[in-house]
């Protein structure tokens, strides 16, 4: 798949996730086959006010490329400045038009635009006009069940000239309830001239295959399904490219991936934080014995986490 001039090795993409996508986890997902990794959303106002701090915290690595940097904002001038600042770090700049977080919406950013798609140009155009990198947008299907406006939004974004649109096929008010409405992705794909990336509820290779078959979308984005489970990218690639089913990871695979993650974390992370490590340790053991996970909650050091992994995951 090609987003603008950028050629991706896989059309399976890591979703932007605040509080999850630290640089080490992005790197692991890249290594396990994500065609594009994503930063968590970066608030344009913060980036413009304190660029060094935000860039240091996000901690960009050459090894994780290609990377999509997601901006969230409400203000034309700040989106323009943010695009100019971030351009040299990003391979793709994505604009968040669907975040349901209350504070973000109060600031008239993110999911606010699902209620007011006619205002999208004021934050997407300044990004397109001020970067040579491909620009994408990530939307939900509307504000609530009564105001589904996927097609209207798709037309606005096509006319503005974005290079791809990701659709999380739920409305903002839904949060994560109900199921992603694949029909909205299908309709969008039928009308859009630019790439459509489907997103929502991909937890297995079969889910990805089924989304592509049902909607004909150009690529898929995986969020919760890759948390503690970077293996999903390789497994989806294998099913889509080689029509091969690969088994779920076992304890040994999980241990290997987590130790790799830990190694990267210690080596690269500018923003080290034990709680973050512990959260990832918990995520990588999802599905492993309850006892292991309980013991992990009690840990107070990296060594204690390592010991539990050594003893329990063989
Ligand atoms: C912990 C978490 C953080 C998220 N942060 C962001 C974000 O920063 N920007 C964004 O556009 N979406 C964010 N999302 C939404 C995901 O990108 C994705 O659209 C959503 O989880 C649906 O995909 P999934 O069913 O594969 O998880 C977040 C989701 C989760 C679970």
Is the domain of 110 the same as that of 193? Answer: yes
Is the domain of 107 the same as that of 184? Answer: yes
Beta carbon of 20 within 6 Å of any ligand 1 atom: yes
CA–CA separation, 263 and 24 (whole Å): 9
Is the domain of 129 the same as that of 267? Answer: no
Task: Count up the domains in the chain and report the number.
Answer: 2
What token pair was written down for 157? 């974004």
Token pair 């939900």 is found at 140
Is the domain of 139 the same as that of 265? Answer: no
Q: 186 with 215: CB under 8 angstroms? A: yes
Q: Specify the pLDDT at position 64.
A: 98
Which residue owns the Cα nearest ligand 1 atom 2? Answer: 17
For the chain, how are helix, strand and coil distributed in percent, rounded to 5?
Answer: 50, 15, 35
Per-chain mean pLDDT for the chain? 96
Relative to beta strand 92-96, strand 164-168 is unpaired
Distance 37 CA to ligand 1 centre (A): 13
Is the domain of 223 the same as that of 269? Answer: no
Q: 103 with 45: CB under 8 angstroms? A: no
Give me the domain span that covers residue 71.
2-242
CA–CA separation, 77 and 277 (whole Å): 36
Q: Which of 22, 29, 59, 99 is catalytic?
A: 99
Question: pLDDT-derived band of residue 314, with 50, 70 and 90 as boundaries?
Answer: confident
Beta carbon of 168 within 6 Å of any ligand 1 atom: yes
Mark whether 59 is an active-site residue. Answer: no
Report which of 5, 6, 156 is spatially closest to residue 95, judged by C-alpha positions.
156
Q: Specify the pLDDT at position 229.
A: 97
Burial class (CB in 10 A: 0-12, 13-18, 19+), 136: buried
What token pair was written down for 245? 């089913």
H or E segment to which residue 93 belongs: strand 92-96
Q: Specify the pLDDT at position 311.
A: 87
Q: Is the peptide bond before 66 cis (omega within 30 degrees of 0)?
A: yes
Given 208, 242, 276, the domain boundary residue is 242
Relative to beta strand 67-72, strand 92-96 is parallel
Is the domain of 302 the same as that of 169? Answer: no
- Asked which of 147-151, 225-229, 273-277 is least confident by mean pLDDT, the reply is 273-277
- Mean pLDDT (whole number) for 126-150: 98
CATH number of the domain encompassing residue 193 = 3.20.20.70
Is the domain of 216 the same as that of 300? Answer: no
Distance 211 CA to ligand 1 centre (A): 17
Residue 263 has, within 13 A of its CA and on its CB side, a CA count of 8
Which residue owns the Cα nearest ligand 1 atom 5? Answer: 17
Beta carbon of 49 within 6 Å of any ligand 1 atom: no
Is the domain of 172 the same as that of 280? Answer: no
- Asked which of 7-11, 240-244, 248-252, 309-313 is least confident by mean pLDDT, the reply is 309-313
Is the domain of 233 the same as that of 255? Answer: no
- Mean pLDDT (whole number) for 26-30: 98
Token pair 């063989």 is found at 314
Given 220, 242, 264, the domain boundary residue is 242
Q: Specify the pLDDT at position 10.
A: 98
Q: 113 with 104: CB under 8 angstroms? A: no
Is the domain of 284 the same as that of 238? Answer: no
Report which of 79, 73, 85, 96 is spatially closest to residue 15, judged by C-alpha positions.
96
What token pair was written down for 268? 């690269």
Given 218, 242, 266, the domain boundary residue is 242
Q: Specify the pLDDT at position 272.
A: 83
Q: 302 with 277: CB under 8 angstroms? A: yes
What token pair was written down for 43? 């608030």
Is the domain of 156 the same as that of 284? Answer: no
Is the domain of 127 the same as that of 226? Answer: yes
- Mean pLDDT (whole number) for 142-164: 98
DSSP letters spanning 37-88 = EEPPPEEHHHHHH-HHHHHHHH---GGG-SEEEEEE-S-HHHHHHHHHHHTT
């Amino acid at each position: 798949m090609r987003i603008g001039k950028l050629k991706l090795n896989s059309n399976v993409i890591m979703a932007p996730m605040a509080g999850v996508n630290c640089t080490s986890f992005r790197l692991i997902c890249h290594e396990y086959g994500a065609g594009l990794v994503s930063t968590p959303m970066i608030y344009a106002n913060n980036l413009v006010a304190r660029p060094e701090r935000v860039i240091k915290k996000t901690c960009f690595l050459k090894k994780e490329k290609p990377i999509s940097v997601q901006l969230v904002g409400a203000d034309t001038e700040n989106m323009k400045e943010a695009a100019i600042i971030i351009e040299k770090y990003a391979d793709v700049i994505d604009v968040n038009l669907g975040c349901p977080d209350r504070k973000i919406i109060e600031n008239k950013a993110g999911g606010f635009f699902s209620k007011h798609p006619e205002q999208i140009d004021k934050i997407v155009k300044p990004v397109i006009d001020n970067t040579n990198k491909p620009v994408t947008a990530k939307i939900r299907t509307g504000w609530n069940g009564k105001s589904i406006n996927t097609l209207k939004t798709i037309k606005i974004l096509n006319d503005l000239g974005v290079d791809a649109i990701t659709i999380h096929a739920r409305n903002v008010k839904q949060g994560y309830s109900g199921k992603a409405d694949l029909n909205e992705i299908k309709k969008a794909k039928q009308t859009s001239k630019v790439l459509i990336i489907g997103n929502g509820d991909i937890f297995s290779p079969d889910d990805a295959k089924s989304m592509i078959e049902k909607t004909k979308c150009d690529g898929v984005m995986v969020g919760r399904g890759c948390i503690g489970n970077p293996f999903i990218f390789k497994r989806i690639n294998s099913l889509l490219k080689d029509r091969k089913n690969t088994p779920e990871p076992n304890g040994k695979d999980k241990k290997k991936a987590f130790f790799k993650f830990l190694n990267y974390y210690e080596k690269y992370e500018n923003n080290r934080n034990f709680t973050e490590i512990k959260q990832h340790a918990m995520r990588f053991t999802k599905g492993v014995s309850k006892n292991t996970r309980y013991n992990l909650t009690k840990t107070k050091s990296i060594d204690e986490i390592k010991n539990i992994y050594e003893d329990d995951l063989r």
